[in-house]
Amino acid sequence: MPDTVAFETSLGEIEFELYWDHAPKTCKNFAELSKRGYYNGVVFHRIIAVCEISPIHRKYWILTLISQDFMIQGGDPTGTGRGGTSIYGQKFEDEIHPELRFTGAGILAMANSGPNTNGPVDAIRYTFLLLIVLVSGSQFFITLAPTPYLDKKHTIFGRVSSGMRVVQRLGAVAVDAQDRPKEDVKIHKSRLVIS
């Protein structure tokens, strides 16, 4: 079991410490996809610098744009936010651990559209709202700030252990009205780091 996964990105290297004791199935998925090169050449397809989340239905969430810094999302090989699969198939169950919280920047978690739907998120923007719908298993996000409203809603499975300046630079790239970077920011290569 690797302790760390590293991404060589367009803006520099980011290393992630994985929380194997708290989310073993999710860590295995992320590490195995990284080892297979699944993330190689994949873009960070969504960077949301401002928002707040509130549920409206068990499958849907509304993000209202009111607070500074939210997240960087990647892991979809189609680059659309609608693709991707886990090593277990499309979706797999959450591993929500009560000790893990969204307390700051650099937290690594699974994207989802509700309980036990780890994976891609399809989003439609309506002026100041973002509607999130059905997902599956390879997409992840990295927080840019504390996001306590996500506690107990997403599987936290690691943290940035090196490369926070790269994460900050990612969070500052210019995006379009759908929160997609105006210029592609890619994961050139993912690799396992065994210590």
What is the DSSP-derived secondary structure letter of residue 34?
A: H
Can 73 be counted among the known catalytic residues? yes
Query: Residue 89's pLDDT is what?
Result: 84
The reply, when asked if residue 161 is annotated as ligand binding, is no
CATH number for the domain harbouring residue 41:
2.40.100.10
Mean pLDDT by 10 residues, the chain (195 residues): 91 98 96 97 90 52 56 94 88 90 96 64 40 61 92 95 96 90 97 89
Lookup: tokens for 36: 């297979």
Phi and psi at residue 28, to the nearest 5°:
-60, -45
The reply, when asked if residue 135 is annotated as ligand binding, is yes
Can 102 be counted among the known catalytic residues? no
Can 40 be counted among the known catalytic residues? no
On whether the pTM is more than 0.95, the answer is no
Query: Residue 137's pLDDT is what?
Result: 86
Lookup: tokens for 170: 């990612």
Query: Residue 91's pLDDT is what?
Result: 77
Can 169 be counted among the known catalytic residues? no
The reply, when asked if residue 177 is annotated as ligand binding, is no
The catalytic position among 18, 29, 44, 73 is 73
Can 112 be counted among the known catalytic residues? yes
Query: Residue 59's pLDDT is what?
Result: 54
Three-state secondary structure call for residue 149 = helix
By residue range, what is the domain housing residue 55? Answer: 4-193
CA distance 45 to 33: 18
Asked if 185 contacts 43 with a C-beta cutoff of 8 angstroms, the reply is yes
Can 22 be counted among the known catalytic residues? no
Domain count, the chain: 1
Phi and psi at residue 168, to the nearest 5°:
-60, -40
